[in-house]
């Protein structure tokens, strides 16, 4: 699976990019035909502590999955977004097995 990480208005460090890649690679055990993933990291301009936004768009044959989470850190937001994608993948695979 090809993973593309884009950080908007800042530069993400290598540790964060490796963390995201490792998390997304684990999703291949739930769906073996993932084409690619795009990850967008954004900082919200509000003064709250939860101003880190992670958006993940994942392409699989026949559809596109999307998750967007906002948390205190990019790692936490990535964890929650990957968990949301994992649920979507399992639901999608369950529907394919019923057909």
Query: Which of 43-78 are b and which e, b meaning 16 or more Cβ less than 10 Å from the residue's Cβ?
Result: eeeeeeeeebbbbbbbebeeeebebebbbeebbebb
**Can you give the pTM of this predicted structure?**
0.90
Domains and CATH numbers, the chain: 2-98 (3.30.160.100)
64: closest CA among 20, 34, 97, 19? 34
pLDDT tens, residue by residue, 29-83 = 988 889 999 999 999 887 777 899 999 999 999 899 999 999 999 999 999 999 9
The β-bridge partners of 5 are: 39
Q: How far apart are CA 85 and CA 87, in angstroms?
A: 5
């Amino acid at each position: 699976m090809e993973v593309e990480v884009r950080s908007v208005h800042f530069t993400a460090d290598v540790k964060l990019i490796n963390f995201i890649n490792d998390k997304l690679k684990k999703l291949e055990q739930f769906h073996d035909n993932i084409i690619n993933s795009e990850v967008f990291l954004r900082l919200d301009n509000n003064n709250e502590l939860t101003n880190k936004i992670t958006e993940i768009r994942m392409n699989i044959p026949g559809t596109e999955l999307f998750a967007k989470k906002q948390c205190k850190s990019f790692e936490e937001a990535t964890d929650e977004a990957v968990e949301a994608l994992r649920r979507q993948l399992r639901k999608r695979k369950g529907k394919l097995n019923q057909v």
